Chain A
Amino acid sequence: MNAPAPPGTSASDIAVDARGLCKCFYQRQRSEKLSEVFANLLRPRVRLVEALRQVDLQVRRGEIVAYAGPNGAGKSTTVKLLCGILAPDAGRVRVLGLDPIADRVRYVGRIGVVFGQRTELWWDHPVAASFEWKRVVWEIPRPRYERLLGRVRELLGLDEFFHSLTRELSLGQRMRADLGLALVHEPEILFLDEPTIGVDVLAKRHILEFIMQLNRERRVTVMLTSHDMDELEQLAGRIALIDRGRIAFDGDFDQLRRRFADRRRLRLQTRAGEAPVLQGAQLLGSEGGWHEYTFDAARTQIAGLLAQASARSEILDVETHRAPLDEVIADIYQQWRQ
């Protein structure tokens, strides 16, 4: 399932080497009824959740890997294992040649972590104070810190709110500041767990451009999780899909499309108002004489669809393009559910 490093890849070129990772959690199950509180306490019901089942993942230095999957698939668990916050029940993790748990102190000095829903910034302090704190705790020499801070401020546009209190920032501003904070010590690898959640399109664009620039210039390895497929496709060359604790796919986006479904969109402009019914395609909607259809190019020939359409209506114009990746992924998740 996974895309192993090409033969001849030396160990020093491997940033993340996770083999046979297993992780289970026990979730207490409780009724919402008051009358069952005592029963729950005395005889608790527990559900075993296999968050990760024999996950193998290798990431080369300088690679940007998208790590996606449905909710509860095991993405955040994987990230926590790789960051050294959690220990696996079985398997082996080495990142940058280090054991994240055993070598934690040395290890975290070389990584950057951003959890989208948690901030590392000091809430009642200006952003600048959080950076100053980071400089001391990560022992960044002052000349290097000043240089990196200048870069980060410029590239992420932090100047406009650098002296504002964190609690008064918008979500997008806070995410940019958190990202800057994670990078100001020049980590070799960056773990981003849903870094753009709730962020507006402009802020998102800034963040993505910044990550790509870092990767180009300094070969920073990036592993990010997100539900925004366009964002992932824009950023990453490789995607690993996880489903119910297992890696279900590991390859590039083209392979993903070909492997699961070659979803395409067909737009037809007709003279008649009503959309022609096309066998093998599903009508998505009509507006102003334009009708949009979706179909699987692996099963249905576009020429056949056009022939059907011409037979039923006068075609004025035609457009065709690949379906958004979101649609492809949604189909994949749907298949997995079934």
Chain B
Amino acid sequence: MKTLHKYWKTAALTAAGQAGDHPLFLLDYLLRLLRVGVLLGLWRVLLEGRQTGVELTLAQLLTYTLVAEIFRDQLACRTQLQQALWEGSVGNYFLRPMSVFGQFAARLGGEWLFNLAFFSLPLALAAPLLGVEPLPAGGGAALLFPLSLGLAVAVGLALELFFGALVVYLEHNIYNAYRLRDALTALLSGALIPLELLPWDLGPLLAWLPFAATASAPLRIYVGSGEPWPLLLLQAFWAAATWLLALWFWRLNRERLVTHGG
């Protein structure tokens, strides 16, 4: 309990800090809302009256886009690691009587708490106003989606931590490396554009990669455009594989990480 309390306290402090010094942070949410509203409008414009050509109707696509935005933070795990690497303060995480990975996860959880309450939930409730069906495709999808989302978070977190250690190992420019990663994963994960819509059979190919496990898999389960059990199995595989990789790589590069930045 004491151990859990440490992480909870870290998460709670992070959540409290998200509010900042002014209610103006809500404008950030407004911009996100506008962006998703426009994106939904664009899908309608681009695909209304046309077949998508795959097992994904326009209605499902709209739900897909909305849910991708509702759970954007969970589908693209971005911890404080980038900032810690930039500042050279990763070493400080090793000075606390808590798991390093656990600290990053706790702080991430704190950010999520706040965003879920202030943005995700209101957006989900506003879905009918946007003309989008927010509910999952059936009871099965409703039951399996949380599991799939949990696995997506596990894979995403492992990739995030692995990537951070890789950047230090290769001595790349952190800012550029993260920008590149964000751009590539936005495409490869299927968070912005469903993989099924990509031409040249790219979708089925990319679906095998771990990036798809972080976004495409749970979203497909939610809207009912894919067989859930094979997707879950693949996610479980990638969750195990990426965590083993991340743990091993961090152990290997512990000294470099701790001394990074001086």
Answer whether A and B touch in the complex at a CB cut-off of 8 Å. Answer: yes
Cβ of A32 within 8 Å of any chain B Cβ, yes or no, is: yes
Within the complex, the shortest CB–CB distance from B90 to chain A, in Å, comes to: 15
**Stretch from A34-42, A78-86, A87-95 forming part of the interface with B:** A34-42
A88-128 Cβ-contact flags toward B at 8 Å (1 or 0)? 00000000000000000000000000000000000000000
Beta-carbon contact of A32 and B16 below 8 Å: yes
Number of A-B residue pairs having CB atoms within 8 Å of each other in the complex: 19
Within the complex, the shortest CB–CB distance from A36 to chain B, in Å, comes to: 8
Beta-carbon contact of B262 and A167 below 8 Å: yes
Beta-carbon contact of B23 and A34 below 8 Å: no
Beta-carbon contact of A37 and B15 below 8 Å: yes
Q: Which of A13-28 contact B (CB under 8 A)?
A: 28
Cβ of A321 within 8 Å of any chain B Cβ, yes or no, is: no
Cβ of A147 within 8 Å of any chain B Cβ, yes or no, is: no
Q: A32-B13, A167-B262 are in contact. Are A37 and B21 (CB under 8 A)?
A: no
Q: Which of A33, A41, A167, A168 contacts B19 (CB 8 A)?
A: A41
14 A-B pairs with C-beta separation under 8 A: A30-B16, A30-B19, A31-B16, A32-B13, A32-B16, A33-B16, A34-B12, A34-B16, A37-B15, A37-B16, A37-B19, A40-B19, A41-B23, A167-B262
Q: Chain A's interface: helix, strand, loop or mixed, by majority?
A: helix
Q: Which of A36-51 contact B (CB under 8 A)?
A: 37, 40-41
Residues of A within 8 A of B19 (CB): 30, 37, 40-41
State the B residues within 8 Å of A (CB). Answer: 12-13, 15-16, 19, 21, 23, 261-262
Instruction: Name the interface size band of chain A.
Output: 10 to 19
Residues of A within 8 A of B16 (CB): 30-34, 37
Within the complex, the shortest CB–CB distance from B177 to chain A, in Å, comes to: 15
Residues of A within 8 A of B21 (CB): 28
Tell me, in angstroms, the Cα distance from A100 to B13 when the chains sit together. Answer: 40
Tell me, in angstroms, the Cα distance from A41 to B18 when the chains sit together. Answer: 11
Within the complex, the shortest CB–CB distance from B109 to chain A, in Å, comes to: 12
Known: A37-B16, A37-B19, A167-B261. 7 other contacts (CB 8 A): A30-B19, A32-B16, A34-B12, A34-B16, A41-B19, A167-B262, A168-B262
Most chain B beta carbons < 10 A, residue from A28, A41, A168: A41
Residues of A within 8 A of B15 (CB): 34, 37
Within the complex, the shortest CB–CB distance from A115 to chain B, in Å, comes to: 18
Tell me, in angstroms, the Cα distance from A28 to B19 when the chains sit together. Answer: 12
Residues of B within 8 A of A34 (CB): 12, 15-16
Tell me, in angstroms, the Cα distance from A168 to B260 when the chains sit together. Answer: 11
Tell me, in angstroms, the Cα distance from A33 to B15 when the chains sit together. Answer: 10
- 10 tightest Cβ-Cβ pairs between the two chains A and B: A34-B12, A28-B21, A37-B16, A37-B19, A34-B16, A41-B23, A41-B19, A34-B15, A32-B16, A32-B13
Tell me, in angstroms, the Cα distance from A185 to B21 when the chains sit together. Answer: 39
Residues of B within 8 A of A30 (CB): 16, 19
